[in-house]
Structure formats: C-alpha cells, structure tokens
Structure 1
Amino acid sequence: MLLTFNENKSIRRRVGSDEFEGNTDLAIEKITAVRFGYCIANKHVALDFSRLSKLMPTLRKCGSLKILKEEVKDALRTLKLHWLDYAQDQWEHSSIQCMNPYEWCHQFSQLGINRKVGENLLKQLKVIPASHLQRSFTVKRGELTGMNVAHAYFEDDEPGSSSLMIRSVLEHIYPNESIIAISPDSFPAISNLSLNRIYIYEDGLWSGVELQKRLTGLSIYEAWKKVPLVFRYAVTSDAGLVVGRMHCALHGFNNVTIEPAENHFSFLENKSECDFLNIKKSDDLRTIIDSAIEPFVFKNRILWKNDLESGRKIMESLGKQLILPFLRRREQAKQQKSGKIVQPLEDIVIRNEKINKWSLGSLKFGSTIVFSSSIPKSVLPIFWLKGQVKWGSAVLIWRPLFWDVRLTDEVQYKTD
C-alpha cells in the first residue's frame, strides 16, 4: 500500500514542537497500523523524518505538491496500482483480446471526448479468469460423500456461448459419466439414474432472464422436479439471485437451490433485497427488478464526481450506435432459423425501446465484468462491439477491447 503526507496550509509556517511531535506520532500510528510498501512526503510537512526513516526505510521526500503527485504516479505504476497498469493486467487475462487499454482509451480523445471517461471505465474492468470457473465449480468432497450426483450444463449453439468452456472445466473436475448436457429445448431423461442431487453449472447469473427460462423448461419434466437441483455460478448478481429465488418461491420449485458465487456484484439500486419479497406475480417480478437496475459502471459516484451524467450520455449514445446492427443481425439469424423470409439487415426495424434497453448492455446493466473467453450481454457495448460511431462532428470506426464471436460483420452507419 501507498502512504502520502502533504501540508495543505502554508508550508513556510512555523510550528511548535508539540504539533511537530504530534504529527509524527500520528504518522507512526498509521504506518504501524497498516503495512505500507511506499511512503512519500512533502519535505516541508511538519514531521520528524529521522524518526520516520527508521520505521519506514522506503520513505521518499519531495519538494512540492507537483513533484509529490509525480512520485505517487511512479509508485502506483511500480505497485501495479495505476489505472493503466491495472487495466492492462486485467486485459491480459483475456484470451479474446482486441485493442489494448491504452489505444482503446485514446479513441475517446479522437472523438473529442475527455479521456477521463475511458479511464473511469478501465478502472472498473474486471476479467474473470478460467481458473475462477474451476474453483467455483468444484464441490467440496464432503458434499458428495455417500451421494449419487450428476453435474449438468446447458448446451448452447449461439456464437460466443460459454458452454464449451463450462463443459471443458467440468470434464477436468468430474468423471465424464457423471456429466449431463442439457439442450436449450429439452432436459434429458434421468428417471433411471437414481440421483440424490444434480448440480447445474453456468458461468454468470446477471439479470436472471435465462435462469427463468431454464426453470420454466425443467418444470415440464416430472423427474427433474423430484431431484434436488443446485445451481452454481462463477459470478452472480443481486438482481439475478432475487429473480431466481423469487421465481422458485412463486412457482413452488422447492427442490431448487441457487447459490451465490464468490464473485458477487450489486446491480440493484440502494434497496434492501427484502423490498422485493412482497411480489406476488411472475409478471410483476420482471418489471419491478428491471426498473430497479442501476448501471454498474456508474454506481461509483466518487469515481465519476461531477462527470456522471455526461459520462452516462456518452455511453448511451455510443452504445446505441454500436448495438443497433448487432440487434439487426440477431433478428436476421432468428428469421433464418425459423424459415421465415430473411430481410436485408438495413430493412430490419428495431424498436427504439429495445435499442435504449441495450445501450448500456442488456437491460442497461452497464457491466464491466467479462470472462476470459466470453463476453456477457450485460457488458457495455463499447467493450465488445466494433463499428462506426459519431460524436459531434467526429466520426470513428470504434474498435473494442475484446473480440467477440457474435460480431459477424462490421457495423456500418451513414454519417450524413
């Protein structure tokens, strides 16, 4: 950790010996209470540097606030605490890298946007490495003792799906004969397996929309309603847990347990989760939860200071421009799959309401949390979509931090 000392008052003022010693005692108290790796001080501050140096050999003195700030920046770089080093370190955990954090951030300047906006986003970047999936999916031996269990995952044919990664992780942990693949449309027969419990694994629980679909699907099959089911995730959100657990309560799914992950994040407004317990109907559940979402990237008001509203407007504007072609491609893929007449991309109409809901990621989650080999739809579009964007009179082909296989072609926009 890093500790700094600077005097806000006139540095040339005289101080009494009591204040001099008192300041030094407070400094020593701080140093001994917390293990600091670096200590930087303005040399004009009223401190006994000879006493401090004995306790803190790494103490460095500087002659002005400006130099102190530079020293702090250098120390942060050394400690890998500077925003760019932090972002680079997170980015390097990903196997689907596109543009490095420094170049990605520079795009904001090219659009005439304050670079601080990009810096604030990168300060909140979180890449969940594959090792976290293995740790999250490993059930303690004691839980399995004397039990006949199966380990299940959902197969997904959508490009960019994480199901292959999940299967690979499970195959490294458990015997292949205990692993069950569930298709999107049906649950395999299990009545002849005499199972005591089924663990179902997914990478992330975000809005809970997919979980509601999973729960509705399994309710059709009597055998699956009789076996205890435990959903396990590498990442969970408060919104997803509330939705999943309330859905189970409303529909009587008493055999289902939804476990919170070690990596747990908050997306709901400053409300107690108990505020949602009086919901009586499933239709109300989705509406109420969606209206309570607070974009994750803007929850840290101290970080954004006075730039929160302008930052949000920028993200929504760029997000809308990037997400529209993505939504058109998704709609076109649905037409192809259903056998309907396939429209040209430019003829496919997407409602403004839907574009708005996706402007900060699915359901405006505004997430900055990604996996090492896949990008959740809740993540800000500027992290994973490429395409032409416009801000004021500036036009730029935006390049994302991460390459996503859902990106099947380039985004094209008219600039007139």
Structure 2
Amino acid sequence: MSRGVLILVLSTDSVPKVRAALTRLIVPHAADAVVILDDASAAHFTTDVKTQVTEGLIAQLEMLPPHAGNRLIIDHRAHCDMSDLQDWWLAARFGDRGVSTLALKTIQRELKDHLDAKGISWRTHAVAELEKFEGPQIKLDVWLQQFQTLGRPDVGRKLAAKLRVIKTGAFVKTAFAPQAASLIGHRQANCYVRDSDDGGSWVEMQSLLMHTFPMGSVFPVHWDKDAQRLDFPATDVDEFVIYEDGLWSGSEAVRRLEAIAAAPPAARVTFRFGVVTDFGISVVRQAIRSLGLTASVTVDTTGLQAERFLSSPVPGHLETGVGMAQSEYFKELHEHVAPYAFREAANWSADEIAFCEDVGHQLVGRWLRLKKGREPTVEEVGVFALGGGRFGSMLAFSRSIPKVCLPLLWLDGLVEIGGKRLNWRPLLADARRVSSHSALDRT
C-alpha cells in the first residue's frame, strides 16, 4: 500500500453515523483510505471484556501494513482498553504517533478534515479536477445548485465525486512517449488524423506531435468523412503511427480501419491512444481481425490508460468476437456496458439513474434538433441520453469533452423535471455544442 490509511475504532452504535458520513464525503476510488473497526465482539465475552476486545482489534490491525501515514482515532466510548491499544500502536511503529481519543462529533469533524487534506473528499477532488480543464466552465456550486433546484442534490454530489479531467499534454510522457530503441534503423511517420472540424481534437494532437518528435517526421492523415477515405502522406516510411487522444466506443476507429482495408497504405499502420476503454479496444481488435488486417495494422498499448466500461466478465464468445460480424459484435457487446458514473451500484438508486437519463434525454433532444435541423428519432436520442453508447462517462480531457460523457456535463438547454423547470448549464462547455452563449459564462 503506497499511502497511509485513517483507522477509526468505534463503539458499535457509532458505526452507522460515521459510515454514512464517510460514504457521503469520500470519492469512490479512495474507499480503502479509511478503515472502520468496532467493539462488537464485546458481546461475546463475560470476563476481561476490554482486554479481549483489544486483542481482537490488534489482530485486525496486524492484517494491515504499517505506514508512517497511518492514523489512529479511537471513539472514547469504544469498549476496549485504549491504553493497551495505544501502547501496541506505538511499540509496533504502526503509524503516526499522535493517537487520538475523541467524542463522536469530533471524530466526524476529524474525518472530514482528513479527507479534505488528502484531496479525497468529493468537493476537494472535484475542485482539483476542474482546475485541469482549460475550456469554459461554470463554478462547481452553480452546477450543483441545478440538482438542488430539480430536487436531486445528492446526484450532483455523487457525480462531482466521479469527475476526472485527463491532461492530454501528459501523453507525451506516457502513451505517446518516443521509444528510442524502436526508431533505430526504422523510418516512422508520426501522424494525426485531420478532418473537416477545425476545432477538433486533431489540432491538439498536431501540436503535441510537433513539439515531441523530430522536425519532418510529423504528418497529417486526412480523413474524408463523407467518402469514408483515409489519405496517408506520400512519404517513404516503414510505419505510419497514428496518435489519437481517446478510444471510447471504437466506432470511429472501425470506420478508419475499413478505409485502410479498402485502400491499404504503402506501410504498416500502428495506432497509439492516450486513453482506451475495454469496450473500444475489444471492438477495434475484433475489427482488425475480421477485416484481415492482422499483419498490417496494430494497436500499441504501451503506457496508455485503460478504463473499464464493460461489466465483468463478459460472455466468453464476446472476449474476442471470433467469427462474428462487426455490427453483430458491436451491438451485442453494448448489452454489457456498465455506465462509468454509476459503477458503484450500491451508491445509486434506480430513480437517481433515471433522473440523469431524463435530463440527458431532454438536453440531447435539443442538441440533435439544432445539429440535424429536424426532429431526432427516439432511437437517436436514446443513444446519447446517458452519453454516447450509454457509457455514462465522467472522464473529460483538459481541452475537450468526449460525447460519451453524461450530457448534463456538456450540454445546455431547457429541462423540466416534476414540474420544475430551469435552463440547464453544463459544468464543462464546448462552444460548438451549446445553444446559448450564457452557457459559456464562467460565473
């Protein structure tokens, strides 16, 4: 364990209140940063009760690794020998020497202060993530107040605890890091996919590559969406390496693989992504195999971040999709998507998830109406109501918001829930997607 934990020794009747406070405050990914022990074993003893409870607590503590960052706080009503427990802690050098014996209300305050200081309370986490985002955003409390207005304050808090902003500039030290040995005696073209979207993510990919790789080794690969054609640069190389920020559902990547299969370039192609999902990488590798591109196209997974969006495990035949048509595989794999935002199922009620989908449905309907110039179908809206492919993602890049994110993170518009109405403002905004300039106001 690389960091210390906060250990709370509580009286049995204090556990529900403290556990409820902990669940409300802590970000899900840090749930193991606090350990709660209690004196429930006292009910099993009739003599030397405090001594035997203390021995049991020590036995449980010994299952954890000693760490200088460990802290011990004891409920002053806990039925144990506090002096013996503290003596053991100090003698074992189990953690911070400042052991505290406190009342319940003070423990609850200490818990909040500890989580805030470690950056693992939901609010400190969300604020830190928002500082990484370089585009327009509104204040966290303004966004949260919208949930309050619609009668769902807990939903906003729990979503804020799941927010993650990934700095794309860091990719040059991880997934995009130059691999010196692989370049010896090897001619490599480092490519970004340029399309007709002048504000697309390719602009940042171009900048990252130009500042990372030698002059004259960076090229655009032109993507013609209408013709479904990928035009590679006319340069004599051994390998084209295509860099992209994220691989989410894989649908766009598959269209490009189909273009490669239809008009193969003169050299092998390697894709490198900053972030991939288990769904996306499964789809892309199945497509490479089914399109007969195994010998000429690969995905380099060195140094990338892999995120889970599939329920685990998926049925055996979906692990590789051998023998399945691409469309069949894509459709069936979607049945096993586990929306990222609601992964900790015990923390979410069906009504709360339905609320997010209802808001998303209304926001997406407006967005598609403006984008397509017509009324979207129920199916078209449904695909995006919980984010593209119903991924329910809360992962944004420092300069862009993938459409797999929950719409209430990146879309604006009139929302009506239970007779209550408001003009929803996204937490993170992209001027190309919002319908009102007010959504770009940072206040």
Distance change in 2, residues 1:372/1:15 (3 Å) = farther
| Alignment of 1:75 onto 2:108 | no
Distance 2:61 2:333 in 1: 49
Structure 2 equivalent of residue 131 of structure 1:
169
Q: How does 1:334-353 map to 2 (within 5 A)?
A: 348-353=374-379
Q: Is the 8 A contact 1:386 1:411 kept in 2?
A: no
Structure 2 equivalent of residue 281 of structure 1:
325
The one-letter code sitting in structure 2 at the alignment partner of 1:221 is A
TM-score, normalising length: structure 1: 0.86
Distance change in 2, residues 1:140/1:303 (3 Å) = farther
Structure 2 equivalent of residue 200 of structure 1:
242
Structure 2 equivalent of residue 214 of structure 1:
256
Match of 2:362 among 297, 321, 325: 321
| Alignment of 1:152 onto 2:180 | no
| Alignment of 1:87 onto 2:126 | yes
The one-letter code sitting in structure 1 at the alignment partner of 2:298 is T
Distance 2:314 2:69 in 1: 36
| Alignment of 1:379 onto 2:391 | no
Structure 2 equivalent of residue 60 of structure 1:
100
Structure 2 equivalent of residue 338 of structure 1:
none
Q: CA deviation at 1:206?
A: 0.5
Distance change in 2, residues 1:394/1:279 (3 Å) = farther
Structure 2 equivalent of residue 33 of structure 1:
66
Q: Is the 8 A contact 2:340 2:394 kept in 1?
A: yes
Structure 2 equivalent of residue 360 of structure 1:
386
User: Which SS does the other structure have where 1:204 is aligned?
Assistant: strand
Q: How does 1:249-288 map to 2 (within 5 A)?
A: 249-254=289-294, 255-260=296-301, 262-272=304-314, 274-276=316-318, 277-288=321-332
Q: CA deviation at 1:204?
A: 0.3
| Alignment of 1:290 onto 2:330 | no
Structure 1 equivalent of residue 395 of structure 2:
369
Distance 1:313 1:160 in 2: 33
User: Which SS does the other structure have where 1:320 is aligned?
Assistant: helix
Distance 2:101 2:142 in 1: 34
| Alignment of 1:181 onto 2:220 | yes
Unaligned runs of 5+ in 1: 333-347
User: Which SS does the other structure have where 1:176 is aligned?
Assistant: coil
Distance change in 2, residues 1:97/1:199 (3 Å) = same
Deviations along 1:30-75, whole A, 9 cap, x unmatched? 66534534332212221325413674323222112x4322220111
Distance change in 2, residues 1:161/1:190 (3 Å) = closer
Structure 2 equivalent of residue 118 of structure 1:
156
Q: CA deviation at 1:132?
A: 2.5
Unaligned runs of 5+ in 2: 15-38, 439-443
User: Which SS does the other structure have where 1:378 is aligned?
Assistant: coil
Distance 1:163 1:60 in 2: 54
The one-letter code sitting in structure 2 at the alignment partner of 1:252 is G
Q: Is the 8 A contact 2:220 2:232 kept in 1?
A: no
Distance change in 2, residues 1:159/1:379 (3 Å) = farther
Structure 2 equivalent of residue 246 of structure 1:
286
Q: Is the 8 A contact 2:413 2:435 kept in 1?
A: no
Q: CA deviation at 1:76?
A: 0.8
Distance 2:313 2:100 in 1: 45
Q: CA deviation at 1:253?
A: 0.7
Per mean C-alpha deviation after superposition, the further-off stretch among 319-328 and 53-62 is 53-62
Distance 1:161 1:4 in 2: 49
Q: CA deviation at 1:405?
A: 2.5
Report how many residues are paired.
389
Distance 1:53 1:100 in 2: 45
Distance 1:319 1:356 in 2: 9
Match of 1:172 among 211, 220, 235: 211
Distance 1:301 1:408 in 2: 31
Q: CA deviation at 1:293?
A: 2.0
Distance 1:364 1:189 in 2: 33
Per mean C-alpha deviation after superposition, the further-off stretch among 82-91 and 8-17 is 8-17
The one-letter code sitting in structure 2 at the alignment partner of 1:5 is V
| Alignment of 1:237 onto 2:277 | yes
Distance change in 2, residues 1:18/1:58 (3 Å) = closer
Distance change in 2, residues 1:17/1:382 (3 Å) = closer
Deviations along 1:223-270, whole A, 9 cap, x unmatched? x1x522111111100111111111111110121111336311111233
Distance change in 2, residues 1:367/1:300 (3 Å) = same
Structure 1 equivalent of residue 31 of structure 2:
none
Task: State the identity %.
Answer: 25
Q: CA deviation at 1:355?
A: 0.7
Per mean C-alpha deviation after superposition, the further-off stretch among 26-35 and 119-128 is 26-35
CA RMSD, aligned part only? 2.5
Distance 1:97 1:37 in 2: 39
Distance 1:400 1:9 in 2: 42
Q: CA deviation at 1:160?
A: 4.7
Q: Is the 8 A contact 2:276 2:307 kept in 1?
A: yes
